[in-house]
Structure 1
């Protein structure tokens, strides 16, 4: 678990714009450079905060123009992500995706000859994945130790109730020479600093933790993992800016969101502080 060395004053106070309308504090763990959502919903009540048609990763919704654009970009990024993994891990083997949503990443990986396994706690999302030929489990408990060559978590680590328990489980499941790929939002990005409490990637209380590039390294170092490389996810800046505009003004303002996303990516070319970052991590 994170330490209890929090700043006395909240880093930010954010509203749940998706489900409850409640306000939550983000407290900064100075030791880990990590933001933590307070109060934390009880574990058994967390699923209530995901019950929204706007939660696109669980629904495959393509109702609006922006939903369709989201899925088009996601299809491109699925192939891009697998190309990154192939470059980092030359030989294909057993791949586990935790928080697999509706199974699109694993479906693409299967078509590229990976031996796939996946975990998704949401029943509705698992049912959609099953129709695509992707069979997902509700948790990782039945998987053998030292089994996977690659484990991916695409925008999932920020959701887990206990970081230490989750990372210890990753350590159990991953082969000694295996590869972890962890993608999370970055609260030091230009768009995060611009939108402040309206930044959509805070997404309280579904996001229980909020990472910087420093905090990822510190959290995984505790378990003898080392970040070997990073890949910025530039499309996230545009999507998050679009949602952030709606959080702030009640409307999406797509042109303004586009320029803010573009500015964020241009800044990140020099600072490396992309809106979201994929970290490639190995056992040290």
Structure 2
């Protein structure tokens, strides 16, 4: 990925920012895949252009997306095989939500994938619903949960107004074709005082600034928008939402995966870890928080 010299910035006024509607858009990075990165100078949103079509987007989330050897570029190394870690992460996140919103009711998970988070939510006593673009992922959802799981785009499915108590979107909004419409729809579907929880890579985080084009948030294919605290605050301005809490969150991973992921940043350090860590510990689950995934808890005002 090649950074553009500031003195060579070219205005792309034909482009419109998804959040603020400004056409004060400049290209900031050139990428090999031709979906270059652009910044809105009005609200600071960063996004790719050209955007993917719905057909192109749906084609990404096939079976290979959830198990491949190039997960730093697209998808996951082994999503199904990592279920135990995902469940542990989900249980931690559910506990955090219920501390803020203890009134159990209906929860909708946007981008629910194979439904592992919803399994944890159901065990916690919530009435679970989910939607995901991937036909493969939805087919892998546990049978007793499938009746309330919908395959397709979030904007393609409708529910009654003020139907849900909680809506979650874990690592979803950066994949969306229209984040602003998603936020507006989530607002309409939430009950008064309901809770929206968004988690997304923070492009203004310290790891992102240090790692630059090696940062994991710069997925080459499926990440369409890149958010920060500032742009999340901006995207909820047009609806009656208020941010009640925000923090960086991590997840449980195996030591083996951690070492493998370190190769992206330092092959030398990865080799040292591989040499000194006993093989018996490679499958050990650890909680890792590099402080670059921003989680925002947002309440719908009364």
Output the TM-score relative to the length of structure 2. 0.74
SS at match of 2:200: strand
Is 1:80–2:98 an aligned residue pair? no
Structure 2 portions without partners, runs of 5+: 1-17, 69-74, 275-286
Equivalent position of 2:124 in the other structure: 112
Q: How far, CA to CA, are the matches of 1:158 and 1:118 in structure 2?
A: 18
Q: How far, CA to CA, are the matches of 1:145 and 1:79 in structure 2?
A: 28
Is 1:280–2:291 an aligned residue pair? no
Structure 1 portions without partners, runs of 5+: 16-21, 63-67, 266-273
Equivalent position of 1:173 in the other structure: 189
Equivalent position of 1:8 in the other structure: 26
User: Is contact 1:107-1:132 (8 Å) kept?
Assistant: no
User: Is contact 1:14-1:198 (8 Å) kept?
Assistant: no
Q: CA deviation at 1:204?
A: 3.0
Equivalent position of 2:101 in the other structure: 89
Equivalent position of 1:269 in the other structure: none
Aligned Cα root-mean-square deviation (Å): 3.1
Task: Give the structure with the larger helix fraction.
Answer: 1
Q: How far, CA to CA, are the matches of 2:144 and 2:267 in structure 1?
A: 35
**Correspondent of 1:56 among 37, 61, 76:** 76
Q: How far, CA to CA, are the matches of 1:254 and 1:223 in structure 2?
A: 49
Q: How far, CA to CA, are the matches of 2:187 and 2:229 in structure 1?
A: 20
**Correspondent of 1:137 among 150, 153, 158:** 150
Q: How far, CA to CA, are the matches of 1:104 and 1:252 in structure 2?
A: 32
SS at match of 1:170: helix
User: Is contact 1:37-1:204 (8 Å) kept?
Assistant: no
SS at match of 1:282: strand
User: Is contact 2:242-2:300 (8 Å) kept?
Assistant: yes
Q: How far, CA to CA, are the matches of 1:39 and 1:281 in structure 2?
A: 30
CA offsets 1:74-133 (integer angstroms, 9 cap, x no match): 222111111111111121011111110100110111111101111112111011104464
Matches within 5 A, 1:157-172: 157-172=173-188
Equivalent position of 1:232 in the other structure: 248
Structure having the higher Rg: 2
SS at match of 2:107: strand
Q: How far, CA to CA, are the matches of 1:283 and 1:164 in structure 2?
A: 16
**Correspondent of 1:26 among 34, 37, 45:** 37
Deviates more, 1:185-194 or 1:229-238: 229-238
SS at match of 2:295: strand
- Mark the CA change 1:221 to 1:198 in structure 2 (over 3 Å): closer, same or farther: same
Output the TM-score relative to the length of structure 1. 0.78
User: Is contact 1:101-1:126 (8 Å) kept?
Assistant: yes
- Mark the CA change 1:120 to 1:264 in structure 2 (over 3 Å): closer, same or farther: closer
Is 1:190–2:210 an aligned residue pair? no
